Chains A and B, each alone.
Chain A
Amino acid sequence: MIAPAAESAPRPEVRSWRRRLTVFLAILGPGFITANVDNDAGGIATYSIAGAHFGYSLLWTLLPITVALIVVQEMSARLGAITGKGLGELIRENYGLRTTFYLMVALLVTDIGNTVAEFAGWAAALEIFGIPRWVSVPIGAFVVWWLVVKGNYKTVEKVFLIACTVYLTYVASALFAKPVWSDVLKQTFEPKIESSAAWILMIIGIVGTTIAPWMQFYLQSSIVEKRIGPEEYRLSRWDVIVGCLVAAGVAFFIVVACGATLYPKGIRIEGAEQAALALVPLAGKWAGTLFAFGLANASLFAASILPLATAYSICEALGFEAGVNKSWAEAPQFNTLYTSMIVIGAGVILIPGVPLFPVLFLSQVLNGLLLPFVLIFVVLLVNRVDLMGTYVNGRVWNWIAWGTVGVMVLLTLVLVVATIWPGLFPAA
Chain B
Amino acid sequence: MPLPAPPPTRSTAVPAHEGFFVSEFLGETVRDVARQPVGKIRDLAVSTGVRSPFPKITGLLLRDRFDTFVLPWEDVAIFQRGTVRTRLMKDDLLHRPPSEDEIFLARHLLDKQIVDINGVKVVRVNDLKLDVVSGDLVLTAADVGVRGLVRRVFGAGITPRGGRLSDRSLPSRLIPWDSIQPLHPQLDRLETTLPQERLQRLHPADIADILSQVSGTERTGIFRKLDVETAAETLHEMEPEMQAEILEDLPEEHASEILEQMPADEAADVLGEIEGEHARDLVQLMEKEAAAEVTELLVHDENTAGGLMGTDFVTFPPHLSVRETLLRLRPIARDAEVLFYFYVVDEREILLGALSVRELLAADDDVTLEKVMTTPVKSVTPDVPADDVAETMSKYDLLALPVTDPEGVLMGIITIDDVVDRLHDMPRRHRRRLR
Contacts and interface: CB of A to CB of B under 8 A. Distances in A.
A236 to B, nearest CB: 14
Interface residues of A, number: 33
A221 B271 CA distance: 28
A5 B294 CA distance: 13
B435 A227 contact: no
* A152, A222, A312 — most chain B CB neighbours (10 Å): A152
A225 B212 CA distance: 10
Contact of B149 (A1, A97, A312): A97
Contact of B123 (A5, A312, A319, A325): A319
Given A319-B123, A324-B434, A325-B433, A98 B242 contact: no
Interface string A1-37: 1111100000000000000000000000000000000
A318 B245 contact: no
A93 interface: yes
Interface in B270-293: 271-272, 274-276, 279-280
A285 interface: no
B434 A96 contact: no
Contacts of B241: 227
Interface of A (DSSP majority class): helix
A381 B218 CA distance: 18
Interface string A218-234: 00011011010100000
Given A148-B435, A156-B435, A227-B245, A2 B152 contact: no
A84 interface: yes
B126 A2 contact: no
B89 interface: no
Nearest to B297: A1
Contact of A98 (B153, B215, B272): B153
A1 B300 contact: yes
B295 A4 contact: yes
A161 B126 CA distance: 37
Nearest to B123: A319
A2 B276 contact: yes
A5 B279 CA distance: 10
A312 B298 contact: no
Contacts of B242: 227
Contacts of A224: 215
A330 to B, nearest CB: 11
Contact of B215 (A85, A153, A312): A85
B412 interface: no
Nearest to A309: B435
A92 B111 contact: yes
A319 B144 contact: yes
Contact of A152 (B124, B272, B434): B434
B432 interface: yes
Nearest to A157: B434
A323 interface: yes
A318 B242 CA distance: 26
B302 A312 contact: no
A2 B279 contact: yes
A61 interface: no
Max chain A CB contacts within 10 Å: which of B149, B216, B241, B268?
A: B216
B435 A312 contact: yes
A156 B434 contact: yes
Contacts of B280: 2, 5
A84 B433 contact: no
A73 to B, nearest CB: 17
A156 B435 CA distance: 8
B433 A152 contact: yes
Nearest to B242: A227
A4 B435 contact: no
Contacts of B214: 84
Given A97-B152, A227-B241, A1 B434 contact: no
A157 B434 CA distance: 10
Nearest to B302: A1
A60 interface: no
A101 interface: yes
A154 to B, nearest CB: 8
B153 A101 contact: yes
A153 B271 contact: no
B213 to A, nearest CB: 10
B307 interface: yes
B111 to A, nearest CB: 5
Nearest to A101: B153
Contacts of B367: none
Contacts of B111: 92-93, 96-97
Interface in B388-435: 432-435
A225 B218 CA distance: 15
Contact of A319 (B126, B275, B300, B432): B126
A84 B217 contact: yes
Nearest to B106: A96
A308 interface: yes
Given A93-B112, A319-B124, A2 B432 contact: no
Contact of B432 (A101, A157, A225): A225
A188 interface: no
Contacts of B300: 1
B38 to A, nearest CB: 23
A324 B298 contact: no
A83 B432 contact: no
B338 interface: no
Contacts of A157: 434
A249 B242 CA distance: 36
B8 to A, nearest CB: 35
A153 B431 CA distance: 10
Contacts of A5: 280
Nearest to B275: A2
A157 B280 CA distance: 34
Contacts of A4: 295, 298-299
Contacts of A148: 435
Interface string A199-231: 000000000000000000000011011010100
Contacts of B279: 2
Contact of B433 (A83, A97, A309, A324): A324
Nearest to A218: B435
Nearest to B301: A1
A318 B275 CA distance: 37
Pairs of residues from A and B, 6 with the lowest C-beta to C-beta distance, nearest first: A84-B215, A153-B434, A319-B124, A84-B216, A1-B272, A2-B279
Interface of A: 1-5, 83-85, 92-93, 96-98, 101, 148, 152-153, 156-157, 221-222, 224-225, 227, 229, 308-309, 312, 318-319, 323-325
24 contacts: A2-B279, A4-B298, A5-B280, A84-B215, A84-B217, A93-B112, A97-B111, A97-B126, A97-B149, A101-B149, A152-B434, A153-B433, A153-B434, A156-B435, A224-B215, A227-B241, A229-B245, A308-B435, A318-B124, A319-B124, A323-B432, A323-B433, A324-B434, A324-B435
Given A148-B435, A225-B432, 6 more contacts: A1-B268, A92-B111, A156-B435, A222-B435, A225-B435, A319-B123
